[in-house]
Chains A and B, each alone.
Chain A
Amino acid sequence: MANAHEIAHDDHHDQPPSGIKRWLFATNHKDIGTMYLVFSLTMFFVGGAMAMVIRAELFQPGLQLVDPVLFNQMTTNHALVMIFGAVMPAFVGLANWMVPLQIGAPDMALPRMNNFSFWLLPFAFTILLSTFFVPGGAIAGGWTMYPPLVLQSGDSFPMLIFAVHLMGVSSIMGAINVIVTIMNMRTPGMTLLKMPIFCWTWLITAYLLIAVMPVLAGAVTMLLMDHFFKTSFFNAAGGGDPLMFEHVFWFFGHPEVYIMILPAFGIVSEIIPTFARKPLFGATSMIYATASIGFLSFIVWGHHMFADGMPMAAQLFFMMSTMLIAVPTGVKVFNWTATLWRGSLSFEPPMLFALGFLFMFTIGGFSGVMLAIVPADFQYNNSYFVVAHFHYVLVPGAVFAIMGAVYYWIPKWTGNMYNMTLAKTHFWLSTIFVNVLFFPQHFLGLAGMPRRVPDYAVQFSDWNMVSSIGGFGFGLVQILFAIAVIQCIRGGKKASATVWDGARPVGLEWRIPSPAPYHSFTTPPVLEPAEVRRS
């Protein structure tokens, strides 16, 4: 009797709770996923505004707009906001939405922790961004937080450390949730190797997060101790070692790079087969390649530090291990290309973004191989060449993949199709401007312009002006993305359950209606062979 009552009670819950409580006390993976994505988009515009200040100051030589201190605050916070506020939460948001739908689970395994891990983020970033208003100004020593420079910060220093701790706690909880969900809540019959590739890349990413976020927490805690408790972890005058921070930081920092790209690999591996109407080529080797990249990411951190003065044996080791990463990454690019081969391609917005990713991420991969060559790295290190490299893998790489994922799955989330013309315009303008923005930075770096400078010698003027024009263009065009998303939430042509009817969407997420009901897969679905991405 009590049982029957409970079932009836459950039925009433098919509608989401109304008002602010729905969001504050959210435990539904779809609501939390939405909050993550909205937060990420907000931070994308905040970090983007900082980038606009940077590019405006660099538009021509001489200081016109901002003091060098404010400039350094902009570069530092642009990086922190984009990495921890835009890219990482976007991936967690996508995992929240899509992992349960892809594995046929009713929700994430740990819904209350899910709520906590999201709600830490607005506080972390409120603290971080409020440092612009404290004595001494915002943090300006670079997102890498190298001592002794970072120890010269004013009141923003402990706030930075606290904010980083909160972000770390949030990421670790998000990662635990993904792992527990994937390990325990797959629908019967879905073995690990039958699991969709987006879930696979996220599973590996989650392990990377759990492994390295505590390392970052340890590093910043040692900074805190050095600053307030007169320890000497990194203080040479007290017998400490400033280089040790760099080692510890990059032991976190390099896997972090892959944390920001592996889920993107997963997204592209979902989108390309759909619009090529063909199974993903070498799906199993894609999983092994992802796992290899995850492993190798732990043994390459020294390549960030070649110019720091490193024993020769270490230089050789880190050069070889770094070059080795090109092999599994190459396998991925070749497999995507083979998926296109003899396919039946159509070019809807998600496919455009995935193809943009494929081309431009590969360009970033080439400059990555160049950077691995130690003697040449002495010239590239800390120059604009490095800036060009990591922006190629992060913007037309990770960010394009995230936007592709939104265009791919948003009809499933909202039940509405978006304005295709607007989305395609957004893609083409973004692609043009992102190249105008970042390609000339290769030239600037090779010609000798250091990074993180507010002003430069006059022979760097032309390419900086080109780059700034690209930057303003890219920044403005992103407003189209916001418009497309908002329009899609408000209404539009109704999407079918499979959304991409003419294409070949594969997976459990296409079985449920669009928009996805508030509670989905309350009983585990039976997996049909056609719903597995492999044959």
Chain B
Amino acid sequence: MNGNLSPNTSNGYNLPMGVTDISHEIYDLHMLVFWICVGIAVVVFGAMIYSLLKFRRSQGAIADTSMVHSTKVEIIWTVIPVIILVFMAVPAAETILKMEDTRNSELSIRVTGYQWKWQYQYLNDAEGIDYFSTLAEDSNFARQLHSGIDPKTVPNYLLSVDKPLVVPSGTKVRLLLTSMDVIHAWWIPDFGAKRDAIPGFINELWFKVTPGKEGLYRGQCAALCGRDHGFMPIVVDVRTPDDFKKWVLEQKAALNPPALPAAAPAAAPEPVKTAQLN
């Protein structure tokens, strides 16, 4: 379970490129806007620094008190930012359209947040697979106050779980997110995927991991949810579609030993509103 040394494809100071088309688009947008900001910063900070060096009283600069306003200049520096903003908004809007298009998904999983664990209930062909995913025990021991355990000795400290979410690569996976208590948020940076899990609502989210990028991907709850908010990680185990099918069969076989009745859900779910999407 501790395959990747780094929790995501980030280099430690920038967004991860990620392993989905959407995460790539987000990365490109992020870099586009970043470089535009750098460009503006060079011009604006350049003008400021030039003024600070050139127009110093100690250097004998005399103030030009007649310079009070210029309608022309003010129109120019109102219009140019508008153009730049439109230039950024168009590709951003295109990506939003793609992110919100949850049609034609091939596998749906209901994700339920609890204080402080995640429940994964598979639908479609994997129906019946239903389990909880909590912080791995070694991390849980080490994270106690005054545990005396050096977190550096714990593999994937705070980012490993007992049972990860297993999904196939190259498949459009749709998550249906809700919560049984307070608001949580499901976030895997490498998928460019974050959405709140809210009691009484079902939020949708989809991702499709590029084939060949199978492996473990890690994230954390991203909405303050109480005492152990920092200790309910999310790990996704991406497998090839064939390996995923094998895993589903294994799980189902383990689920239905002839003598035992199927596990009944522990509690009736709260009334759920239809999602307010679309």
Contact = CB atoms under 8 A, between A and B. Distances in A.
A269 B240 CA distance: 61
A344 B57 contact: yes
Size category of the A interface is: 35 or more
A61 interface: yes
A281 interface: yes
A333 B81 CA distance: 12
A68 B232 CA distance: 13
Contact of B189 (A279, A448, A456): A448
Contacts of A458: 151-152, 157
Contact of B229 (A311, A370, A453): A453
A307 B201 CA distance: 13
Contact of B196 (A140, A309, A331, A335): A309
Contacts, number: 313
A343 B159 CA distance: 55
B224 A452 contact: yes
A14 interface: no
B69 interface: yes
Interface stretch (B7-15, B126-134, B252-260): B7-15
Contacts of A359: 45, 48
A406 to B, nearest CB: 23
B112 to A, nearest CB: 13
A343 B51 contact: yes
Nearest to B145: A63
A279 B230 contact: no
B92 interface: yes
A283 B277 contact: no
Interface in B75-112: 77-78, 81-82, 85, 88-89, 92-93, 95-97, 99-100
Contact of A285 (B56, B64, B74, B97): B74
A72 B156 contact: no
Contacts of B189: 379, 448
A307 B61 contact: no
B166 interface: no
The size bracket of the interface on B is 35 or more
B199 A236 contact: yes
Contacts of A316: 93, 96
Interface in A425-471: 442-443, 446-448, 450, 452-459, 463
Given A142-B224, A285-B69, A345-B51, A309 B63 contact: no
Interface in A63-87: 63-64, 66-69, 72
B274 interface: no
B142 A278 contact: no
Interface stretch (B24-32, B117-125, B208-216, B243-251): B24-32
A435 B100 CA distance: 37
Most A Cβ at <10 Å: residue of B16, B144, B229, B231? B229
Contact of A69 (B52, B227, B277): B227
Contact of A327 (B45, B82, B182): B82
B227 to A, nearest CB: 5
Contact of B62 (A307, A341, A344): A344
B236 interface: no
Given A146-B182, A382-B222, 13 more contacts: A279-B68, A308-B195, A319-B89, A324-B85, A330-B78, A335-B74, A337-B51, A342-B61, A359-B45, A369-B33, A369-B88, A381-B185, A446-B14
Interface of A: 61-64, 66-69, 72, 140-142, 146, 148-149, 152, 236-237, 239-243, 276-285, 307-309, 311-312, 315-316, 319-320, 323-324, 326-327, 330-331, 333-335, 337-338, 340-346, 355, 358-359, 362-363, 366, 369-370, 373-376, 378-379, 381-383, 442-443, 446-448, 450, 452-459, 463, 504, 534-535
The 6 closest A-B CB pairs, nearest first, are A236-B200, A453-B230, A309-B203, A443-B13, A340-B51, A277-B63
